[in-house]
């Protein structure tokens, strides 16, 4: 007699799927992905946040340096401009010129020190070219403005040709404003630089 095979009971397909090797692999991969995502995603987000904070810190430092540079250069230029202005024919006033020279003499040393500090900081927060421009402008300030003004004051305060020095001072003020604009543009703090972004 031939044995008739007994029909096998079909098991529950869900249980069969769970027992399959493919399901266990996929489940392990899913659990591993969840664990790694829970660990690495926060690290990546933290790294992005730190990078954003670092960029913001640099931008804040650049904005402060820009304010400091602008204030220092323009204050120094204005102080020396007052000295020559009160010696010109249009504003001739010996008393006001003496006061202007005293103000300049009193404040210039501190302002020059600040300028040097700011030029040094610009090496870290700006391009090397900007730091060099600041130093070159300071050198020109000494040779074209400070030394001639002091020399004239010591030799002939009332008789010197302050007109020529005043024209030179006005020209240097214009160049100082150009330098400040260039620094602001490099730091993306001017209207033109924000339009181009």
Structure confidence by residue, pLDDT tens digits, 186-195: 999 877 654 5
pLDDT digits (tens, 9 = 90+) for 91-132: 999 999 999 999 999 999 999 999 999 999 999 999 899 999
Residue 25 in any domain: the answer is no
Interatomic CA distance for residues 191 and 145, integer angstroms: 31
What is the C-alpha separation between 123 and 119, in angstroms, rounded?
Answer: 7
Q: pTM (2 decimals)?
A: 0.72
The encoded tokens of residue 102 equal 């005293």
Residue 21 lies in a domain: no
Residue 187: partners with Cβ closer than 8 Å, 6 or more residues away: 59, 62, 63, 65, 66, 125, 126, 193
Whether 27 is covered by a domain: the verdict is: no
How many structural domains compose the chain? Answer: 1
Structure tokens at 196: 């181009």
The answer to whether residue 43 is domain-embedded is: no
Considering the domain boundaries, does residue 132 fall inside one? yes
102 within a domain of the structure (yes/no): yes
**Which residue range(s) make up the domain with 155?**
60-195
């Amino acid at each position: 007699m031939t044995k008739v095979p007994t029909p096998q009971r079909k098991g529950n397909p869900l249980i069969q799927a769970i027992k399959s090797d493919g399901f266990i692999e996929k489940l392990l991969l899913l659990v591993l992905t969840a664990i790694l995502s829970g660990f690495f995603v926060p690290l990546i987000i933290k790294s992005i946040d730190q990078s954003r904070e670092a960029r913001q810190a640099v931008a804040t430092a650049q904005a402060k340096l820009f304010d400091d540079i602008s204030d220092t250069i323009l204050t120094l230029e204005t102080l020396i401009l007052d000295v020559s202005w009160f010696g010109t024919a249009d504003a001739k006033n010996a008393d006001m010129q003496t006061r202007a020279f005293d103000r300049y003499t009193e404040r210039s040393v501190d302002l020059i020190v600040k300028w040097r500090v700011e030029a040094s900081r610009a090496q870290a927060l700006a391009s090397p070219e900007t730091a060099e421009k600041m130093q070159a402008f300071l050198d020109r300030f000494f040779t074209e403005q400070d030394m001639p003004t002091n020399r004239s004051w010591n030799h002939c305060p009332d008789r010197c040709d302050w007109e020529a020095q005043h024209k030179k001072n006005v020209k240097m003020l214009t160049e100082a404003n150009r330098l400040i604009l260039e620094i602001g543009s490099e730091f993306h703090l001017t209207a033109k630089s924000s339009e181009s972004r």
